[in-house]
Amino acid sequence: MRPDPPVTLKDVAALAGVHPATASRALNLETRPLVSGETAKRILAAADSLGYRPNTVARSLRTRRSHTVGVLIPDLTNPLFPPIVRGIEDRLAADGYVALIGNTDSDDERERLVFERMRARHVDGFVCATAHLSSPLLAEAASAGIPVVLVNRYAKGYGFPAVSVDNERGIGLAVSHLVSLGHRRIAHIAGPQDVSTGLLRYRGFTDAMAAHGLAVDPALVAHAAAYSLEEGDRCCRALLERDLGCTAVAAGNDMLAVGCYAALETAGLSCPRDISVVGFNDMPFIDRLRPPLTSVSFPHYQVGTEAGRLMLELIAATGQHGAVPGDHAEILYLAPELRVRGSTAPPRAPDAS
């Protein structure tokens, strides 16, 4: 079976007995008012009967709008991202946009590569969940006037809108919870300090401790090189080896927290009996682990839909006059909630602070 020859605007115009330009006008909602109702009807009927589908590529070449958005994430297999990406896709789809997806593994080179590739395909904007605090890509996008929406992470100074959880408040909830259980010597496994979440949660941790009148023992802070199970495991071991009598760990995110589970098991310790663990993100299925992880939650899917919305607004705004993107950049902080589960309990032998 040989491919059917694609039907073009010219075919539709011919069948309707009008000029292609007229057909184009009738087929586009914005310009439809320009053509008489009579001919418009004829054209639409013709298009319909031929099964006409506009060639987006040609249109894109002309209008410099592809109705396509690039989505940059570190790694789709990190359970945090699927709901976010779905949210983005759903919101974009509602307006006729489609999403190009690219995993970067937080690798600058790979990030650059997918960025370039998407740019070459004339994406109308980027939703970016990979932003390091300083990123040449963002600078480039800014100077090229490409809309960017930051997700989950924030980067200063580019004037891009962002959607994210209130990290400092979130980790504060975790600390308060642990303190209220009676914990005093609380450790923190900090995420990478070159991404906003790592930095803000670390800062939030020290602030929250201070607010509770607790000193932060620097030895009770471990620094993870990445948000991974392995790093969580490694950092937790390091903390245990220091033998500083900590009774709880507030981890920088869920992966690090689950990494702690492994370290505790290796050390023959029980969670939460010996050590309480709190995560951050409340990833899907994390409530079904053994033990169910207490974690700081926020609406992932909604992060995606909000990011999609901001992107669409940004694209629309960029169309207008010489609109400077980022003029009135909207930064959205979604409220965190603590989901208390089985990984936290009062310390074994509460020490009077």
Partner DNA sequence: TTGTAAGCGTTATCAC
Partner DNA sequence: GTGATAACGCTTACAA
179 binds, among its own copies, DNA, none (CB under 5 to 8 A by kind): none
Q: Does 117 bind DNA (CB under 7 A)?
A: no
**Of these, 30, 38, 109, 120, which contacts its own copies (CB under 8 A)?**
120
Beta strands 294-297; 337-339: pairing state = antiparallel
- The window from 2-10, 134-142, 237-245, 283-291 that contacts DNA (CB under 7 A) reads 2-10
Query: Can you tell me which residue has the tokens 């991974």?
Result: 228
Cα distance between residue 115 and residue 95, in whole Å: 23
Binding mask 133-162 for its own copies (x = CB under 8 A): ---------xxxx-----------------
Q: Strand 125-128 vs strand 148-151: parallel, antiparallel, or unpaired?
A: parallel
Q: Which amino acid is at 123?
A: V
Which token pair is 13? 């115009």
- Within 8 A by CB and 6+ apart from 31, the residues are 24, 25
Name the segment binding its own copies (CB under 8 A); options: 50-58, 170-178, 214-222, 238-246.
50-58
Which tokens go with 319? 């169309």
Q: Which residues contact 96 (CB under 8 A, 6 or more apart)?
A: 67
| Binding test (CB under 8 A) with its own copies, winner from 96, 213, 218, 268 | 96
Of 8 and 193, the one with the shorter C-beta distance to DNA is 8
Please state the closest distance from residue 58 (CB atom) to DNA, in A. Answer: 3
- Between β-strands 276-281 and 221-223, what pairing exists: parallel, antiparallel or unpaired? unpaired
Rounded CA separation 165/215 (Å): 26
Piece in contact with its own copies (CB under 8 A), picked from 218-226, 235-243, 268-276, 286-294: 286-294
Contacts of 348 (CB under 8 A, 6+ apart): 247, 273, 274
Using rule CB under 8 A, residue 258 touches its own copies? yes
Residues that bind its own copies (CB under 8 A): 1-4, 53-58, 60-61, 66, 68, 75-77, 79, 81-83, 85-86, 89-90, 93, 96, 98-103, 113-114, 116-122, 142-145, 258, 261, 284-285, 288-292, 322, 324
Residues that bind DNA (CB under 7 A): 6, 8-10, 17-22, 24-25, 27-28, 31, 34-36, 38-40, 52, 54-55, 58-59, 61-63
